[in-house]
Amino acid sequence: MKEKIKEFIKKYLIGFILGVVSAGAIIVYAETYFPSNQVTYDNTESGMTSDNVQTAIDELYNTCFPPTAGDQILEDQPLEKDEYECRYFFTGANPNNYITFNNETAGWRIISVECDGKVKIMKKESITEIYWDYGSNGRNNWARPARLNTYLNGTYYNGLNTAAQNQIVSSDFGVGPAIYNNNNLSEQVNDENSKKWNGNIALPTLSEYYRTNSNENCKTYTLYNNNFNTCKNTTWMFNNTNWWTLTPYNIGNYMIYLVNSNTSHTTMSNANTVYNVRPTLYLSSEVQITGGNGTQNNPYTIK
Question: Could you tell me which of 103, 37, 30, 99 has the C-alpha nearest to residue 70?
Answer: 99
Give dist(CA 89, CA 235) in Å, integer: 11
231-254: per-residue pLDDT in tens?
Answer: 999 999 999 999 999 999 999 999
Give dist(CA 106, CA 294) in Å, integer: 9
- Are 237 and 247 a contacting pair, CB within 8 Å? no
Residue 197 has pLDDT above 70, yes or no: yes
Per DSSP, the three-state class of 3 is: helix
Q: Is the pTM of this model over 0.75?
A: yes
The mean per-residue pLDDT over the stretch 81-107 comes to 97
Spans of all domains in the chain: 2-64, 69-283
Give dist(CA 118, CA 6) in Å, integer: 32
For residue 243, the Cα-to-chain-centroid distance in whole angstroms is 19
Instruction: Check residue 274 and give its pLDDT.
Output: 96
Instruction: Check residue 264 and give its pLDDT.
Output: 74
Quickly count: other Cβ atoms within 10 Å of residue 7's Cβ.
10
Q: Where do the H-state alpha helices sit in 168-256?
A: 185-192, 206-211, 221-226, 228-231
